[in-house]
Structure formats: C-alpha cells, structure tokens
Structure 1
Amino acid sequence: MASVATETLPFAEPLAGRFAGLPPASLSLYWLGQAGFALRAGGYRILIDPYLSDSLALKYRGTATPHERMMPAPITPDELGPIDLVLCTHHHTDHLDAATLAPLAARLPALRFAVPAASAELATTRIGVGEDRLIPLDAGMAVEPLPGLRVHAVRGAHETLETDALGRHRFLGYGLDWDGLRLFHSGDTIPFEGQAAEVAALRSHLALLPVNGRSPALRAAGIAGNLTLDEAAALCASCGIPAMIAHHHGLFAFNTADPAEIDARAAVAAPLELLRARVQVEYRLRAA
C-alpha cells in the first residue's frame, strides 16, 4: 500500500467558511456529527450521511428515547454551498434525513444521491427527487459517480445482514478512492462473518467507524447497535487499515460513547492511529 499520512488541523472559523475554501491537494474530511462527514476531494464536495436537522427530536419528543441534540449541527444545508455528490449508507433518518437532503436537492438540481438500491423508493420520497437523480447501489458494486472518484459498496450489518425481496442489502458501507487516497465509511454495522475480507479488499488508508456499541436495552427499544470501540480497532487491525476516526457519538444521550474512553484508547492504540471525531477539525489524507 502506498504511504499515506493522516493530518489533523484544528480551525477556529465557521465550518461554512472552511468548507468553501480553495480546493486542497489532499482528501479532506469534516465531521458533521453522528455518522455524517463532509469531504473535499480536489474540487469536489461530497457528503456522507449528513444529519443537520432536528427531525428526530420532533419525532421522538416525549418518548423513552428523546433524540434531542447534545451538539448543534455545525452547518446548515444552505451553508454547505455547492455539493457534487451525497452518499447515504442506509434508510435510518440520521443517515437519510428528509429535512437535510430535500433542501439540498431543491437548491442543487444537478445533485445526485447514492443510496442502497433496496431503499431507492423510500429515498425518492424523502429527498423529493426522481429516480434519475439516484445512484442505486448494492454490495459488490463499484461506480464512478464523478470523474476520478471511485465508490465501492460493501455489506453492513446493523445488527443483522438485512436484504429486500430481491436480495439487495439494506445496510451498506462505502469505500472511496480519489487519486490513490482511499477511505472506508462502514455505515452502521456490527461484526459479521466475511466482513474483514470485504473491507481489506478496499485497501483503505483511513476508516470512519461507529463506536457507540449496542445493548439489550436499546435493542428492546427498537434501536440497533454498532461496533464497540474494541471491535472497530480490531477491524482496522485485521484489514491493515493504519488510521481510524471514531464517530457516532455525542449526538443522542441515550445512544452514545464516552469521549474520555475513546481518547484513553487512542493513547495506547499504536500502531493504529485512532482519532475521535471532533467538530472544528479538518482531517487530511495526503501522500506521504
């Protein structure tokens, strides 16, 4: 694997200004909260699983699992400016959010959305677009939605490997390859048989993995879980991924991970470079 470095660059200005800056000679990432990331790859601006609204707080207010934000959205859909591509890993609202995606679709009529083919019909309704603006994906597919950007879809298990009547997977992870810089966003997942082989084949330099874990109590409430911090680190080790950003924490109090535990593990994670997703930080992948 080619030598690639991961840099962390804190910044003080609003994310909108940082995201709108000159194209970097690298692959840059900004955390949007939960599993959401904004990416800049040369002149491209790409979103993965953006949840920038309070739609879930409104839906679940007064229930046993209130989805009130622990952190504000670092940017609004309008402040994102021009976007070239949105990737959504699955149908849950904190990954496929009508209140975030529909305004983007209305403002940017050329914008396309990569979604699991199993959820394409739901995506057209939530986003308010026709099928011509979707890029329907299934595990094992590879596409080039933008010149020079390759996207590979792999399976995810949020807590099960779920398929529709046509055998298409409802939960996906995406490997992105731009100019030889490769990252992997797992979507929501737990470990499953065959996972390591699929992820290793992507030869990623950086993994974006959820670390909020899972519990019987949440499962009983209908809330599927994710990798634990130990499981996420083990996946990187088994796949030869040198760096990882731990996310899916700090948004909903009933379903999060302790930042102190992530930071403590990061201090002893070598040779894995373990980073906790933070706002006001630019993460860069660049050729070393």
Structure 2
Amino acid sequence: MVRITHIGGPTALIEVGGWRLLTDPTFDPAGGSYRFGWGTGSEKLTEPAIAADQLGEIDAVLLSHDHHEDNLDAAGRALLPACGTVLTTQAGARRLGGDGVRARGLAPWTSTTLERDGRTPIEVTATPCRHGPPLSHPIVGDVVGFALRWEGQQEGVLWISGDTVLYDGVREVARRLDVGTAVLHLGGVRFPISGPLRYTLNGEEAVELSRLVQPRTIVPIHYEGWKHFREGRADAETAFAAAPELAERVRWLELGVPADL
C-alpha cells in the first residue's frame, strides 16, 4: 500500500514499505514574492499544510529541479542536508552537492536504487520533462520526473510527472512504462511576459496524457498555492469530467491529510 500526503503545490510525502520520500520541498510561509528569471516570477499564496519541522525523518527527496523556488524554496533547501539522498537532475546535483547534501543526478531514462537495511529496495528511474514550449530549454533548464518500482508492486510503477508540458518525451512514458499511479503536476502555468505560452500541463493535456499512459489512479498536484498556477482544481475537474473513462480514476487529496492508495 502507498500513502500520499499532499502538502501543497508540488510537495507531497510518499510512504511505502517503511520509506518516507518527499517531492519538491516547498515550506516557505505564504506571502513571499519570487523571481524565476527572464522576467518571470510569482507569489506564494498559501501556507504549507504541514510545517517542515513536523515532517519527521525523510529518507530521500525526489526533486524535479532545484532552480525554481516554487519547487525548492529556502525552507525546503534548508531541509536537504537532513533528508538522506536527494535525487534530481544532473545539473541540479552539481549545484546542490556539498554542504551536507547527498545529491545524485539522473539523466532521463537512467536509474538508481534506494537501499536500506530491512526495507525493500526502490528503483527510481528519471523520466523526461520539458518545462515550457518548444526551444525553451535554454531558459527553463533541466527538469525530470520519477518512476518508482519495487518488488511486490501490484499495479505498475508510481510515476511523478514533474513540471512539464505534453510533448514527445512525456508520451514516451506511455510506451516504456506500465503506470499504476500517476502523480501529475498541473496548474497550466503562464506568465504575463510570455503571453499564452504554458510551462506545465493544463487540464486538457492531463486528460490526453492520461489516455496515453492509462494509469489506474491519477493524483493531481501542483495546481494551487501559487499565483502563476493559472488552472486550479475546478478547471481540471471540468477537463476530466469530459473524459468519463478517466474521471473515476482521479483521486483528489485533501491537503495535509494522508491518503492510502
């Protein structure tokens, strides 16, 4: 059984087989303003549902990317030295390594294994992301998602999409992986300076991606808590309602409340 607690934005606690894994740590208080570069920025609108000092032990962090503060803010960064292994992009591992942070960098479709005495090992495979429109990589940088596989898994891998739009790299997940649970970063991120260009999945793309991947369970995150998230839960619910074969698979998690999947 897998237990997931959505803490806010892209941050979730995943518990399985004694492991406690944290995605994209964001624990700053509400009200802060952030600049992401190239004229983009945002404001944090809500508090994390669980404070950083209430987390308990974290065995590993699954960090899609380190260079945007809506995925790793100051309070989240301060947690990393005490969090065991940090799995992230290769560039991110180079930036984060040292100062007590044990970072491992993964290129898309490369794998590493989390191991600890008395626990079932977890194989973690990085999956492709493109955090924006075509040709945006020099601006937005490297991002990865994560596919988690362990012995005894019943319904396919647990896949965390990371911040991405729908493109061929993400479609490759459908061809290469049998996905049991898909944790999808939504939000339809846009910025005034780049007009209609998007930097994460919107509801329609999430539906299209889910039709390709065919997960047994769909868990939306990264749709609330920040000003630059342009599509909230209601928008995604409308999109999934138009796909009744998928709507019954969507599991909305109450912030701060553990959910068994």
Q: How many Å separate the matches in 2 of 1:227 and 1:242? A: 19
Query: Which residue of 129, 140, 145 maps to 2:100?
Result: 129
User: Does structure 1 conserve the Cα–Cα contact (< 8 Å) formed by 2:129 and 2:145?
Assistant: yes
Residue in 2 that maps onto 1:48: 23
Highest RCO, 1 vs 2 (Cα 8 Å, sep ≥ 6): 1
Aligned positions of 1:128-167 closer than 5 A: 128-130=99-101, 133-146=102-115, 147-159=120-132, 160=134
Residue 183 of structure 1 pairs with residue 158 of structure 2 = yes
What is the CA-CA distance between 1:214 and the residue it aligns to? 4.2
Map 1:1-288 to 2 at 5 A.
Answer: 26-54=1-29, 57-59=32-34, 65-69=41-45, 71-91=46-66, 92-105=68-81, 108=82, 111-124=84-97, 128-130=99-101, 133-146=102-115, 147-159=120-132, 160=134, 170-178=142-150, 179-181=152-154, 182-215=157-190, 217=192, 219=194, 225-272=199-246, 273-285=249-261
CA distance in 2, matches of 1:216, 1:58: 14
Distance 2:259 2:175 in 1: 22
Deviations 1:45-90 (A, max 9, x none): 1101121114981545xx9955132x21111222111111111011
Give the Cα–Cα distance (whole angstroms) in 1 for the partners of residues 122 and 91 of structure 2: 23
Contact 1:154–1:199 (Cα < 8 Å) also in 2: no
Alpha-carbon separation, structure 1, partners of 2:135 and 2:72:
19
Q: TM-score, normalised by structure 2?
A: 0.81
Render the CA deviation track for 1:222-251: whole Å, top value 9, x for unaligned.
Answer: x96211111111111112223212221221
Asked if the contact 2:223/2:231 (under 8 Å) is kept, the reply is yes
Inter-partner Cα distance in structure 2 for 1:29 and 1:138: 25
Cα distance change, pair 270–281 in 1 and its aligned pair in 2 (3 A): farther
Report percent identity of matched pairs: 23
The residue identity in structure 2 corresponding to 1:283 is: A
SS at match of 1:180: coil
Q: Is the 8 A contact 2:128 2:169 kept in 1?
A: no
Structure 1 residues without counterparts, runs of 5 or longer: 1-25
1:175 Cα offset (Å): 0.6
Letter in 2 for 1:235: L
Give the length in aligned residue pairs.
Answer: 245
Distance 1:243 1:220, change over 3 A: same
CA distance in structure 1 between the aligned counterparts of 2:174 and 2:18, rounded to whole angstroms: 27
Does the CA-based 8 Å contact 1:31-1:279 persist in structure 2?
Answer: yes
Aligned residues of 2:188 and 2:198 also touching (Cα < 8 A): no
Partners of 2:159 and 2:56 in 1: CA distance: 25
Does the 8 Å contact 1:154/1:173 carry over to 2? yes
- SS of the aligned residue for 2:76 comes to helix
Relative to structure 1, is the Cα distance of residues 54 and 122 closer, same or farther in structure 2, using a 3 angstrom cutoff? farther
One-letter amino acid matched to 2:214 = G
